[in-house]
Every structure is written in C-alpha cells, then in structure tokens.
C-alpha cells in the first residue's frame, strides 16, 4: 500500500467522543485512508508522533480574524492552536464586503 503521509504511534482523538487510543494514521490526497494499530505502507513522509496527540482540526465558532487574515494573508496563528476552520460575522460585525484589496480603506473609515 502507498500513502502520502504516515503518522506512527500517535494518541488518536477521533472526534467521536470515544476515549483516545494509540495507533498509526495514513493519509492520501488529503484524506485519512486508514487508522489502525500498525499500518504497513510506503509513504512520502513518515512522522513519529510518539508522545503527541493526533486529532481533527478544531473549529472556532466565534472569532474576529478578518483583519489578521486580510492584512497578513495567513492563518498561522490559528493553525498553531489546531484551528483549521473559523466562523466569522456571527455577532453582527464583519468587515465584509472589504477584501485584501481595499482593507486599508476600511481601516481608515473605522479609525
């Protein structure tokens, strides 16, 4: 078997609410193809996750990341915390319809 990424020996939290467990995890084309105690496959990248937790990306349901993302163009601050998805504008405030092309216009108007 071939996979793009093989994560070995990680403590898996699968998001189902079940207790975590130690296992290997194989990924191909951005999708998890197998999770089991021992996976044998050829991989482009193998990560030894011994002592680390492997879990799905977290969703932050209330965040004001508009300025951060539009001025830096990066989500690094979120990714470092495991956040891969954000929900924005749910409190009635958003910088939409502004974009990275006219963010400075927005900032000048809002002070």
pLDDT of residue 15: 86
- Residue 47 near residue 63 (C-beta atoms within 8 A): no
- Structural domains in the chain, sorted by start: 2-54 (2.30.40.10), 58-106 (no CATH)
pLDDT of residue 100: 66
Separation between Cα atoms, residue 104 and residue 111, nearest integer Å? 10
- Residue 85 near residue 57 (C-beta atoms within 8 A): yes
Write phi, then psi, for 86 (nearest 5 degrees): -125, 150
pLDDT of residue 70: 66
pLDDT of residue 61: 86
pLDDT tens digits, 71-91: 676 788 888 888 888 887 677
Mean pLDDT of 36-54: 97
- Which pLDDT band holds residue 98 (cuts at 50, 70, 90)? low
């Amino acid at each position: 078997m071939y996979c793009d990424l093989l994560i070995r020996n990680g403590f898996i939290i699968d998001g189902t609410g079940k207790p975590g467990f130690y296992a290997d995890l194989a990924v191909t084309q951005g999708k998890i193809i197998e999770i089991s105690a021992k996976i044998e496959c050829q991989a482009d990248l193998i990560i030894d996750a011994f002592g680390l937790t492997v879990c799905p990306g977290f969703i932050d349901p209330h965040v004001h990341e508009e300025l951060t993302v539009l001025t830096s163009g990066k989500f690094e601050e979120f990714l470092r915390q495991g956040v891969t998805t954000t929900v924005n504008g749910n409190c009635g405030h958003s910088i939409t319809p502004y974009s990275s092309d006219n963010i400075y216009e927005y900032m000048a108007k809002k002070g």
